[in-house]
Structure 1
Amino acid sequence: MIAWLRIGIILCLLALVTLVLLPVQLLGLRYDWRLRRRLPRWWHRIACRLLGIRIRTHGRLETRRPLMIAANHVSWKDILVLGAVADVVYVAKAEVADWPIFGILAKLQKTIFVAREQKRRTGDQVNEIAARMSGGEVVVLFPEGTTSDGNRLLDIKSSLFGAASAAVSSSPEGVVHVQPVSIAYTGIHGMPMGRYHRPLAAWPGDVELVPHLMGVLKAGALDVDVDFGEVVEFRADTNRKVASGAIVSRLRTMLSQRLYPRAG
């Protein structure tokens, strides 16, 4: 009974915050105010606080632009976590736009939706991502293409970094910065989170959203570590496979050291 009461209070408070900020964000999107980039961070911070997600950051977000963040993907909570620590926009698969609640929130943050199965639109989608970066926005890419079980980094395709290469020509200095960022769910109620409990934080594609969301709300108090890694530069003569290999290597190392500190 107490757990359900807590869930009800959290959902009501989150709905109230959303209703308060929504009109301002809609105006920001309508007139392209710079505020529309910052306002989602306030919402994400409040959402994380209400859900009991405690964030520890290590390192700093790169200050140079254009900038793309390449992060591992564990759960929908990654959106809240990264959105709480930086003013970012996301690249998401097109079907997310039709999801209840999450689709609306994604549109309010001006998420870039890509239709991976429509090869003819690939060029336009890459150009949109490049244009957003060139305009000063920090674009988050989850190069695994799906969520993992939270215990490892899945395979990554170098082709997904095509937008970084495409943005080089419009960069004043002829360079695009790609920063690997690892997201590791490491604790629950102040205790270390091992492999057994990590599925609570993770959201693999075969798990229904609503039951998973209820489980997170009931559990509360999740600790997550966000590590900002060393930037990889994309230039006109950069070999994309080599650059993406460096990104993957740094991302995998950060994630492994955070999840399995004793192994290091």
Structure 2
Amino acid sequence: MVGGHRWALGTQRFWSVVMLKVFGVKTVLHGNKPKVGLMMSNHQSYIDIWIIPKYAITVFVAKAEVKKMPLVGWGASAVNTVYVDRSDKDSRRATKNEIAERIRNGRSVIIFPEGTTGDGNGLLPLKPGMFFTAAEEGFPIIPTAIFYEDPDLAWVGDDNMAGHFFRNFSKWSTTAHVTFGEPITGTDGEELMIRVRDWKLAQLEKFRNNYRTQH
């Protein structure tokens, strides 16, 4: 078990380092590496999935469509992503069960509760489902915040993925800041969602005030 854990960690870190080099993204960790739990991060770019495995062995949860995306789908699978079909009740139930099993076995699971990418200046409305699951199952939530100094790294709206990819691939480098909070637990899903949202908003504001690149 220990050997398998180390192998998985090494594989994730390898692909994380490779893909971050491809995009010229340097990372800065603020604070400590995360404890095991249900990691809930803000979401700005497909690059997010390669930042977090640099610091923790994780399983990602993503919508099924991600698997079909050029390069991104391959990269997501390389870091042990669990795909969920949101329109299929059985798929959603199976995903919740798999998340529970992974956490019980000491493996962190990361989700992006906004459900899609934002511009990094704040947060989109959070989807409440997994907050209530965490409350029911007693899972510790690890709030996570990612911030890119270059706002162009955010992939939002109707931006064409290929165009976005090549614009950023051609840049020399940029820096991403990441921080992990202490575990948050509770029995009220709504309260958990508010606490996580407030923590992330505070972290993003701090990063934005100190590190945002002006164009």
Q: Normalising by structure 2, report the TM-score.
A: 0.88
Structure 2 counterpart of 1:242, one-letter code? E
1:122 is aligned to 92
2:104 is aligned to 134
2:203 is aligned to 254
The change in CA–CA distance for 1:124 and 1:185 in structure 2 (over 3 A counts) is: same
1:203 is aligned to 155
**Secondary structure in 2 matching 1:232:** coil
Tell me, yes or no, if the aligned pair for 1:91 and 1:112 is still in contact at 8 Å.
Answer: yes
1:160 is aligned to 130
CA RMSD in angstroms comes to: 2.0
Tell me, yes or no, if the aligned pair for 1:230 and 1:250 is still in contact at 8 Å.
Answer: no
**Secondary structure in 1 matching 2:99:** helix
- Structure 2: where are the runs of 5+ without partners? none
Tell me, yes or no, if the aligned pair for 1:127 and 1:166 is still in contact at 8 Å.
Answer: no
Q: 1:148 aligned to 2:127?
A: no
**Secondary structure in 2 matching 1:260:** helix
Give, in whole Å, the separation in 2 of the partners of 1:73 and 1:128. Answer: 22
Tell me, yes or no, if the aligned pair for 2:28 and 2:176 is still in contact at 8 Å.
Answer: yes
- The structure with the larger Rg is 1
Identity %: 29
Structure 1 residue 224: Cα displacement: 1.1
- Structure 1: where are the runs of 5+ without partners? 1-31, 169-175, 187-192
**Secondary structure in 1 matching 2:100:** helix
Q: Normalising by structure 1, report the TM-score.
A: 0.73
Deviations 1:48-103 (A, max 9, x none): 1342211111111333x4x1111100001111111222221211001112223322
Q: 1:77 aligned to 2:29?
A: no
Structure 2 counterpart of 1:55, one-letter code? T
Give, in whole Å, the separation in 2 of the partners of 1:94 and 1:78. Answer: 17
Counterparts of residues 54-133 of structure 1 (less than 5 Å): 54-63=26-35, 65=36, 67-133=37-103
Give, in whole Å, the separation in 2 of the partners of 1:83 and 1:127. Answer: 22
Structure 2 counterpart of 1:248, one-letter code? R
Structure 1 residue 120: Cα displacement: 4.0
Size of the alignment, in residue pairs? 208
2:189 is aligned to 240
**Secondary structure in 1 matching 2:43:** coil
Structure 1 counterpart of 2:124, one-letter code? L
Structure 1 residue 113: Cα displacement: 0.8
Deviations 1:207-253 (A, max 9, x none): 1211111111111311111122232114xxx1111111111110111
* Larger relative contact order (CA 8 Å, sep ≥ 6): 2
Give, in whole Å, the separation in 2 of the partners of 1:122 and 1:52. Answer: 35
Structure 1 counterpart of 2:142, one-letter code? Q
2:143 to 176, 180, 186: 180
